Amino acid sequence: AWARVKRRLRAELGEDVFASWFARLELQDVEGGTARLTVPTRFLKSWLESHYLDRVLNTFKAEVAEIARIEVGVRGTGAPVRPVAPSPAKASPTSGPLARLHAAAPPVPVSASAASEMRGGDTAGDLNGAPLDGRLTFASFVLGRSNALAHAAAERVARHDGEGALYNPLYFHAGVGLGKTHLLHGIGHVARDAGRRVIYLTADRFMYGFVNALKTQNALAYKERLRGIDLLILDDVQFIQGKSIQAEFGHTVNALIDAGRQVVVASDRPPTELEALDERVRSRLAGGLVVEIGSLDEQLRVSILSARLAQVRAAHPGFEVSQAVTAYVARAITANGRDLEGAVNRLLAHATLTGTAVTMETAETAIRDLVKNREPKRIKIEDIQKLVASRYNVSRSDILSERRTAAVVKPRQIAMYLSKVLTLRSLPEIGRRFGGRDHTTVLHAVRKIEKLIGEDAILGDEVELLKRMLQD
Ligand code: ADP
Ligand code: MG
């Protein structure tokens, strides 16, 4: 039924609007007449809620008569889906335990960007872009081995005051929570303080700008203004979707670079792997300086954690966290900066609510969910190859070999696909681990299997089963 709801929405709203706002909408569950949907960003959530909630509800109702309510949550934040309140005032809890937890969280002023997102993204289309978060500066960015190069490039671009642009575009890529957005905001602050015309946009806001401009027939003016700036900062470009929006994105980037204006981009993957984008746009994005931010090593985690704890302590003098506990948390939480920040908030909430000092034991309880949920098992490519080989009655060396018989090609492609989906390895790295193949071969395999899964339910189940077997 959900697939039909999506199909209806696509037919009713058109390809571009659908791709921009609904392609990443997923059904979580249905319970007692409430359909819980999820999206990957807060912006998308507030945008859908303020513009399309009735539409989605009515479309859903037309398919499943029992549906009476829609709730939209944000995936991957660990936060439960919260009901959509009829009035904005109720959206943030003002009483009850949740409010207390909120109150116990560090009294950092709600960042301007978060505030505008909570208002429903109403300012998103205005060409000042999204506001910069005052906390995300170079001064608060902790340096380590994995981000030193990215930081150096960011500083240079931000402080550049000569003619033209330095590295154009400057392109950061890294997994979630490794500091991309932090660096982008850092650049934005410095450049803006120096009097340069800066626009910071997330992919969502970029798409919103165009969809909106097209609707109000202002597209030309919008483009003109976008091209009249000194520095365009685009976050999470992997989310850019929709044919004409991709094209506009390409034109905008080209026009700015050709005019010697600086473009800075961040994504969760390298430009070559932005599969939704046109080949020419991808190579343009790869044509400047591409810098990967690596995972946080333990030392860097300790530094980030200590810096964050010091900030919080400045506002909560009684809040003491020993070095041992800091070391424990930094060791337990390996995933990313976002979880480290989450850990600090939990420690503080715990200390404030119970009025007791943070011990090793309370720390363990407070961060338990972060440790468990956020650390998926590390799956090895070798294990994938072994499992897939045994399921298909071939040997692992067949998979690594040059043989091209169907009996070997299919398992090989499935194994490549699973390696891409289940590990953090890049396509070139996966190619190397499959007998020294080229990354385009891997990409081809991934696309092929993705397509087959969509067409062939039996193969889909088979691959799903392999995934589960590898995951537990
Ligand atoms: P990304 O955009 O890569 O997903 P963010 O920039 O949003 O990650 O970082 C997630 C959180 O971790 C933010 O609160 C950020 O301030 C913090 N963080 C990440 N890296 C660092 C760092 N090197 N120094 C200080 N804070 C960091
Ligand atoms: Mg980010």
pLDDT given for residue 373 in this prediction: 52
Predicted model pTM = 0.65
Vertex 427 angle, CA 424 and 433, to 5°: 85
Task: Kindly give the pairing relationship between strand 289-292 and strand 198-202.
Answer: unpaired
**Domain 2-86: which CATH number of 3.40.50.300, 3.30.300.30, 3.30.300.180, 3.40.190.150:** 3.30.300.180
Six-digit token string for 61: 């109702």
Q: What's the mean pLDDT when you consider all of the chain?
A: 83
pLDDT given for residue 376 in this prediction: 58
Judge whether residue 374 has pLDDT over 80: no
Give 96's pLDDT tier (boundaries 50, 70, 90): very low
- Predicted complex ipTM: 0.99
Q: Which CATH class is domain 298-373?
A: mainly alpha
- Name which residue sits closest to atom 8 of ligand 1, judged by CA: 177
Judge whether residue 322 has pLDDT over 80: yes
What CATH topology corresponds to 381-471? Chromosomal Replication Initiator Protein Dnaa; Chain: A; (1.10.1750)
Q: How far apart are CA 76 and CA 333, in angstroms?
A: 16
Judge whether residue 218 has pLDDT over 70: yes
pLDDT digits (tens, 9 = 90+) for 30-76: 988 999 999 888 778 877 887 888 889 999 998 888 999 999 998 86
Measure 85 CA to ligand 2 centroid, in angstroms: 27
Q: What percentage of the chain carries pLDDT values higher than 90?
A: 46
Q: How far apart are CA 439 and CA 437, in angstroms?
A: 7
pLDDT given for residue 77 in this prediction: 59
195 has binding-site annotation: no
Judge whether residue 232 has pLDDT over 60: yes
Give the closest residue to 332 by CA, choosing from 294, 305, 351.
305
Which protein residues are within 6 Å of ligand 1, measured from CB?
Answer: 136, 140-142, 147, 174, 176-182, 304, 337-338, 341
pLDDT digits (tens, 9 = 90+) for 441-453: 999 999 999 999 9
Q: For the structural domain made of 124-292, what CATH number should be given?
A: 3.40.50.300
pLDDT given for residue 372 in this prediction: 58
50-64, 74-88, 419-433 — which is least confidently predicted?
74-88
Q: How far apart are CA 323 and CA 119, in angstroms?
A: 39
**Position with higher pLDDT, 155 vs 464:** 155
Which of 107-116, 300-309, 456-465 has the largest mean confidence?
A: 300-309
Relative to the alpha carbon of 234, which ligand is closest?
Answer: 2
pLDDT given for residue 114 in this prediction: 39
Judge whether residue 100 has pLDDT over 70: no
Start and end residues for every CATH 3.30.300.180 domain found in the chain:
2-86
Judge whether residue 90 has pLDDT over 70: no
pLDDT given for residue 127 in this prediction: 55
Judge whether residue 472 has pLDDT over 70: no
Relative to the alpha carbon of 293, which ligand is closest?
Answer: 1
Relative to the alpha carbon of 185, which ligand is closest?
Answer: 1
Relative to the CA of 341, which ligand 1 atom is closest? Answer: 14
261-265, 305-309, 361-365 — which is least confidently predicted?
361-365
Start and end residues for every CATH 3.40.50.300 domain found in the chain:
124-292
Relative to the CA of 268, which ligand 1 atom is closest? Answer: 3
Relative to the CA of 141, which ligand 1 atom is closest? Answer: 24
The residues near 18 (Cβ < 8 Å, ≥ 6 apart) are 9, 10, 242
181 has binding-site annotation: yes
Start and end residues for every CATH 1.10.8.60 domain found in the chain:
298-373
- Name which residue sits closest to atom 1 of ligand 1, judged by CA: 177
